[in-house]
Chains A and B, each alone.
Chain A
Amino acid sequence: MRPSAVRLLNILVPVKRTVDYAVKIRVNPDQKGVDLNVKHSMNPFDEIAVEEAVRLREKLKGEVKSIKVVTIGPPKASETLRTALAMGADSAIHIEVPDSAPAPEPLSVAKALRAVIQKEKDNGGVDLVIMGKQAIDDDAGQTGQMLAGLMDWAQATFASKLVVDPKAKVADVTREIDGGLEEIKCRLPLVLTTDLRLNEPRYASLPNIMKAKKKPIQKLTPADLEVDLTPRLETLKVTEPPKRVGGGKVESVDELITKLKEAGITPVKS
């Protein structure tokens, strides 16, 4: 046992490889999904999560013992892990699934993460999970909450500010809620999900990218974790959204007002 005065934090950061946010996606003609032969990168909210973990270590100096990133994905998802390692994470776990496997649902992902956390017990356990508030591909925004529920841990969703006191084992979190902000105080262990304004992720420098190649990536399979990633919801089809027909341009403010009037938009009397 370590002396209780020095409580070191172990941070776990789940990341997802998604279609790059700038790509204009195309729906496949067979309506089974979208064209995935496009540029992929780390889910932007997960970049914020990695950044926050690294900043936390910079701020708390010796009090963060480890930052481990984890992903569930096809072989290529290891590139995403390398990016996270280049940003400052220490080691990674890749739960590899075949390219052909259907995308696992948030509940399955949360169960796999629970299994990872249980495995980490031998390495001092996990005190803080930092993850994105949603993935920009399925836009579900559920995994963090589900993980917190499965672990029966505190949760802080949509965080825009995080202050951790490792000695007291508490975190003060500012959350973005509808209509404003909310501050909460959470006891660790905690699952935190990141909002856009939590931080500005850094670019990995070339030396760090080189160093990241030497950092360890542990490969696991869903079977190793005894989790079943088969979806329970059935995706019947994926279609294009109804196209908007652009109405063209007008030449002047007067014409614009005419168009507004035609649409029944009139100024309010005050």
Chain B
Amino acid sequence: MFRLRPVLRCTPLSRRYATASGPHALVFLEHREGAIDSGSLSALAAAQQLGGQVTGLVVGSPEQVKGVLEKAKKLKGVSNVLHSASEQYSHALPETISPLFEKLLGENSPYTHVVSAHSSSAKSILPRAAARLDLPAISDITSLEHEASSNATTFTRPIYAGNAIATVKAPSSLRVKFFTVRSTAFKAAAEDQSTEAEAQAIDPVEVADPPTQHVRTDLTKSDRPDLGSASRVVSGGRALKDAETFKSTLEPLADVLGAAIGASRAAVDAGYADNSLQVGQTGKVVAPELYMAIGISGAIQHLAGMKDSKLIVAINKDPEAPIFQVADVGLVADLYDAVPELVQKLK
């Protein structure tokens, strides 16, 4: 009896410790054509920095989930993969996917954080789900720190088109902390063939008569690297005159460098380039090894999308163009002379 007493005394203590268990992140793994989006892999890397357990979530049509699940199980740092398959999930409509999040995150759920890429699809779903649970969300974070003792998480995120950085604390009073991750700020998590996470099927939440129907998706076809994840980007602005000139000038350079092509808003609005190529506050945010800005003046909104690039090269004939203030290497020249010469000499 004497020996038992300390054990008994410890019990309530250890139980309290168990309820204040470490963070447990639920990471929304997005996929396209059987591959997990690189943005989701960066979100996964961010989730790992919380220092706790990480569960992946794969949602899609039955065929989509089958292929992606195997890949998700091999991801480094994922201990568990939840998957939910339904024809209703085939196009990731917020109206049909949000109820699944609500179910997973009910009062007694183990999850302390919900994490996703800052992608167009997750940006549409996560805030809707968060609001349904009466929780705020934090967008486009670039760093985070979790304090396990207080269960508070501190994030940094760019505001005012990246001209200021806000440090925001999500206090412990927020049962679940929702956040989306700027993919260029976190190195994508890798596959690890030696591990295999446990998979667990979750019944889909069928929405009777959803208010939104998917009609069609038109993806811009391209053999080039994806703009969001390319290590080199060649980007053109309004100085490229028209769509034909845009292509004929930038493509040879992008080819010789193995780069993705981007565009300023002016070039997109003028119809020179597809809007999926827009780099900036309202387009994509990129941070490649090399960013070449060709005929781009460098408005605040454009800089917001590329100023974290390792090496910025600008070619512009206006020596006063603001792009030269951020460029590591600037060349004041007519791009119609300089770009072909550059291509020639690089070959």
Contacts and interface: CB of A to CB of B under 8 A. Distances in A.
Interface of A: 19, 21-22, 24-25, 27, 34, 105-107, 110, 133-134, 136-143, 145-150, 153-158, 160, 172, 175-187, 190, 195-197, 232-241, 244, 246-257, 259-260, 263, 265, 267-268, 270
21 contacts: A24-B300, A145-B127, A149-B98, A155-B94, A176-B275, A179-B219, A181-B217, A183-B214, A184-B215, A185-B212, A186-B211, A236-B167, A237-B167, A238-B166, A240-B164, A241-B158, A247-B329, A248-B330, A253-B341, A256-B331, A265-B311
Contact of B169 (A182, A234, A244, A246): A234
A149 B160 contact: no
Interface in B101-160: 119-121, 123-132, 134-140, 154, 157-160
B257 interface: yes
Across the A-B interface, the 9 shortest Cβ-Cβ residue pairs: A247-B328, A146-B131, A268-B258, A154-B211, A149-B128, A142-B127, A145-B127, A180-B219, A149-B131
Interface string B246-274: 00000000011110000001001100001
Residue from A153, A177, A197, A234 having most chain B Cβ neighbours under 10 A: A177
Contact of B218 (A180, A247, A256): A180
A244 B214 contact: no
Nearest to A190: B211
B170 interface: yes
Given A148-B128, A180-B276, A232 B136 contact: yes
Given A24-B300, A139-B281, A247-B330, A107 B135 contact: yes
Given A136-B281, A149-B98, A178 B212 contact: no
A260 B256 contact: no
A63 B154 CA distance: 49
A137 B313 contact: no
Contact of A183 (B93, B167, B216): B216
A267 B346 contact: yes
Given A19-B160, A25-B160, A246-B328, A187 B300 contact: no
